[in-house]
Amino acid sequence: MNIIMAFMSGLTMSAGLIISGMINPQKVIGFLDVFGHFDPTLAFVMAGALGVTAIGYRLLANSKPILCDSFDLPKKNQIDAPLIGGAVLFGIGWGLAGFCPAPALVGVGIGLPKAIIFVIAMLIGMFLARKFLNSK
């Protein structure tokens, strides 16, 4: 059952990414281009997503998940060097091509060769970074 709901969640998210236009890297680069041809669409996407998620999380705060015993939330709350350094690297990569993980995965489903190249490089990066973190 939790496999089906995760699938539904992924499917819903891909619909959201397609309708919002966020699978188009050009829209993302447009948002980041604040000193040039600024395209504010991503701000509307964030507003819609944050609004629904914040309300949903708030309403569920005092309950339990339907399919398991408790909510699994990140335990860390310190601002540390890996958080900042990782976010810098991610931001540079994001600005370079306009892709972040979710839209790129939808792009693979669409069958875009460039999205496939991006995702393969991303998986290699993820694999090596996990290996590096585990070795420490």
Partner 1 sequence: MDISYVHGLIGGALIGVAAVILFWFNGRIMGVSGITSRILAKPDRDYWWRLAFVFGLMLGGLFAQIKFPVKVVISASGWELIASGFLVGVGTVIGSGCTSGHGICGMARFSKRSIVATIVFMSAGVLTVFFKKMLGI
Task: Return the residues of window 44-73 that contact partner 1 according to CB under 8 A.
Answer: 44-54, 56-57, 60, 64-73
Query: Residue 26 interacts with partner 1 (CB under 8 A)?
Result: yes
Query: Residue 41 interacts with partner 1 (CB under 8 A)?
Result: yes
- Number of amino acids touching partner 1 (CB under 8 A): 113
Nearest residue (CB) to partner 1, 36 versus 135: 36
CA angle 63, 64, 65 (to 5 degrees): 130
Distance of CA 118 to the CA centre of its chain: 14
Query: Residue 97 interacts with partner 1 (CB under 8 A)?
Result: yes
Nearest residue (CB) to partner 1, 62 versus 74: 74
Query: Residue 136 interacts with partner 1 (CB under 8 A)?
Result: no
- Whole-number CA gyration radius for the chain: 17
Q: Is the dihedral of CA 16, 19, 24, 30 positive or negative?
A: negative
Query: Residue 75 interacts with partner 1 (CB under 8 A)?
Result: no
Give residues with Cβ within 8 angstroms of 33, minimum separation 6: 39
Query: Residue 135 interacts with partner 1 (CB under 8 A)?
Result: no
Query: Residue 109 interacts with partner 1 (CB under 8 A)?
Result: yes
Query: Residue 129 interacts with partner 1 (CB under 8 A)?
Result: yes
The string of DSSP letters for 68-136 reads: SSS----------HHHHHHHHHHHHHHHHHS--HHHHHHHHHHT-HHHHHHHHHHHHHHHHHHHHHHH-
CB of 131 to partner 1, least distance (A): 9
